[in-house]
Amino acid sequence: MVTGTRTGTGTGTGRREDAAPTALEAELRRVAGRVPDPELPVLTLEELGVLRAVHVSEAGRVQVELTPTYTGCPAIGTMSSDIERALHEHGVPEVTVVTVLAPAWSTDDISAEGRRKLAESGIAPPRPRGTDGAVPLTLSIRCPHCGSAGTELLSRFSSTACKALRRCTACGEPFDHFKEL
């Protein structure tokens, strides 16, 4: 596996970045997109919104672009390896995974399906930004178990740096809240 990091806008594949994906690129994106997130396996990389692009060069080489949830995310290496394995199993002999830092990932990149899956698995999804780009100011996060708005913060950090640990004051259940970024 070849990995790297870039912050520019060129793809390095010899094709225009604004070109529409080919049918093969769309197929390979579906394969890569089905890879589960190593820290939140209920979500795929596509649903989490970290899979940015899949490019196939003229020589048949595949480059996958990933944006971590935050700079220094420890899961990016596992994501890269898992994508490489999935594409190799799909018949792609040469895969390069590139970490793309710009534009930065945001919790707004989580799909509606991803938010639904988070809530169903007991993790309060992040609140979406308003049309002005601001996160709505609310004093509480709804409990994913009972729906109560009466929750309290137990810890700013939970099982991953992306989540906080909260407890519902109505049902007493602790739960993770995916922090807005």
What are the tens digits of pLDDT across the range 124-158?
998 877 666 665 566 578 899 999 999 999 999 88
pLDDT of residue 30: 98
pLDDT of residue 181: 73
> Which residue's structure tokens are 């007991």?
122
Q: What is the mean pLDDT of the chain?
A: 86
Q: What is the pTM of this model?
A: 0.79
Higher per-residue confidence, 70 vs 23: 23
pLDDT of 4 above 50: no
Region 21-41: mean pLDDT is: 95
> Per-domain residue ranges for the chain?
2-105, 112-178
Choose among 116, 110, 97, 3: nearest CA to 46.
Answer: 110
CA distance 15 to 27: 18
DSSP string, 63-89: EEEE--SSTT-TTHHHHHHHHHHHHHH
CA distance 127 to 124: 9
Identity of the residue numbered 107: T
CA distance 65 to 55: 8
Q: What is the CATH number of domain 2-105?
A: 3.30.300.130
Give yes or no for a contact between 62 and 86, defined as CB atoms under 8 angstroms apart.
no
Which of the four pLDDT bands, split at 50, 70 and 90, describes residue 173?
Answer: very high
107: left (phi over 0), alpha (psi -120 to 50) or beta: alpha
What are the tens digits of pLDDT across the range 52-101?
999 998 777 999 999 999 888 889 999 999 999 999 999 999 999 999 99
The dihedral formed by the CA atoms of 116, 130, 65 and 1, expressed in degrees to the nearest 10: -50
Contacts of 59 (CB under 8 A, 6+ apart): none
DSSP-based three-state secondary structure for 130: coil
